[in-house]
Structure 1
């Protein structure tokens, strides 16, 4: 076990083998870009090390920051791969994921009915793949009919969650817990940790850039959809039509359903195109307005490890004056452990991770 400073972390293989003193290091990583919590565990190889086989269950436990009793930090986990190196003493590196990795690595084709919510669809995905469910918060927003051609289950989940956010819903992410898979609403963590320089933060880096800024959004749709029940007057005045003289209509330019403009005078024209085939023109305009943005601002924080912070949690950063969400986190477990966080505002997170459907 890792015991610097008297603290304890446990790595249990196949619910039988306590790897104990063989563990040299444990790193936990999570990001809004990925569905699974990932662990990198370093071991020293000895004759009593049990056989390692990808697919074995792994549980990582520790004392939560500020607590006194052991709790699971990654469970249920699965050993995904391992590699070894020998320079006189053999060392082994394990890569472990929570079980949502199967949703990320598996492909399927699915038809989802109109009116289902992201919560209902996530329940179906999980049940199909044998992943236990915790209580799922109801996402409430009814979704459009979706035919998902061959793609990963995680990409289907992403599409459902993006559509939920695009049409006025909350931002959610699937999160594996010891009780099962939950649908976590970003920023809804009960304990909001406060980070301060000279207290629990070693370094804060701030970045502002126009990379990712959007000052104009053009939403495109099919001509059939635009004219079916919408009326010519509902179309943007900037819509252009083309006489194709009987040519293949798929070669014609798309119809412009909406154009929304932001602070072009200050930042110039930075246009994003969105293909919308589901919502109404009013919904397309709402979606387009949500994507408008100016300067992009993010923070990188390193400091003393708070080992229960996860991607999507809300954080208070002293002196920033901003509400911030964790977009990625890296925990180097130990006492004192060290963590590195990427932080951004909810508006930034909505645009970057939930901005198109």
Structure 2
């Protein structure tokens, strides 16, 4: 008999041989644009025939998609990262699982790339050096600058995101690395083929709307390089909604710009106004990922974070924002 019959649509497989569904108490999947790896927390009860579990072991989570009939991989390939046990007469385990992009987020490297390469080309280089299988990697098409100090003794994830942020700042599309069963792909935000419609009083239970100027930038001062004993030259001061929200200034230093016109264009890209987000809870649609596009109350929004509490029915919690807010918040600066 299953510990939690509500999970009969899901399966957890350890080391490609131990099927743990019968002892699983709960499964929670989490993903955010702030972080690289998709994660799962699996809680289970230890039985007499429990095979044992150790950090570093291979593990996967599968489930029947919302409205589907057969299981698909939800988190695969996964790795057991942390195991916590408790015992109050019956032993319980809480297992933290990440997809294997966690290694890119935790590993440091040193690179120096020439100017002219694209983010796609650099991703292929990272993958080749680290033995990572690639899936779909579209060409980002924007030539990048020569790398500097931020690629010295930094994580591979930070380097990838620096490449992708520079791509956006130079007019390119927003992309995100995403691990799939076929390998690491470069996912275009909002590029999901199936776009779910979320409607209050249908598949949405609660909605919280948040508006804030906490991360607003209403004025940007663009500085050039200068010797240590001199103040940096001011190339441009770009004003945004200062009259509406007050002066919230950001300073950026740009060594490659020499004229005021280019400096103004650089500064305008860093202006950011009112931030608006929606926190939505509702019936779980277990295949929604961070970066996916959804329709909510007539608006096309991007998922910035998602939490799936798997079950039958399960529950999901989403944070949604407009593509413009996502561009400013996650890709607006290098």
The alignment's TM-score, normalised by the length of structure 2, stands at 0.95
Q: Give the gaps of 5 or more residues in structure 2.
A: none
Deviates further, 282-291 or 155-164:
282-291
Measured after TM superposition, the shift of residue 294 of structure 1 is 2.1
User: Would the alpha carbon gap of residues 128 and 2 (structure 1) be closer, same or farther in structure 2, given more than 3 Å must change?
Assistant: farther
Deviations 1:225-269 (A, max 9, x none): xxxxxxxxxxxxxxxxxxxxxxxx313222223321112111111
2:272 is matched with: 293
2:34 is matched with: 33
Measured after TM superposition, the shift of residue 181 of structure 1 is 0.5
1:251 aligned counterpart, secondary structure: coil
1:72 is matched with: 73
1:236 is matched with: none
User: Would the alpha carbon gap of residues 271 and 82 (structure 1) be closer, same or farther in structure 2, given more than 3 Å must change?
Assistant: same
Deviations 1:262-291 (A, max 9, x none): 121111111111222356655543332122
Aligned pairs for 1:82-231 within 5 A: 82-147=83-148, 148-223=151-226
The alignment's TM-score, normalised by the length of structure 1, stands at 0.89
Deviates further, 13-22 or 256-265:
256-265
User: Would the alpha carbon gap of residues 280 and 356 (structure 1) be closer, same or farther in structure 2, given more than 3 Å must change?
Assistant: farther
1:212 aligned counterpart, secondary structure: coil
1:60 is matched with: 61
Question: Distance in 2 between the 1:280 and 1:158 partners?
Answer: 26
1:322 is matched with: 299
Question: Distance in 1 between the 2:291 and 2:178 partners?
Answer: 10
Question: Distance in 1 between the 2:40 and 2:9 partners?
Answer: 17
CA-based RMSD: 1.6
Structure number, greater radius of gyration: 1
> Does structure 1 conserve the Cα–Cα contact (< 8 Å) formed by 2:7 and 2:311?
no
Measured after TM superposition, the shift of residue 317 of structure 1 is 0.7
2:202 aligned counterpart, secondary structure: coil
1:112 aligned counterpart, secondary structure: coil
Measured after TM superposition, the shift of residue 97 of structure 1 is 0.5
Measured after TM superposition, the shift of residue 314 of structure 1 is 0.8
Measured after TM superposition, the shift of residue 67 of structure 1 is 1.2
1:233 is matched with: none
Deviations 1:302-354 (A, max 9, x none): 00000000000111111xx5331111000001111000001111111111111
2:273 aligned counterpart, secondary structure: coil
Deviations 1:162-191 (A, max 9, x none): 100011001111001111111011111111
Q: Does 1:347 align with 2:324?
A: yes
1:311 is matched with: 290
Deviations 1:128-170 (A, max 9, x none): 2222100201111010111311111111111111100011001
Question: Distance in 1 between the 2:247 and 2:325 partners?
Answer: 19
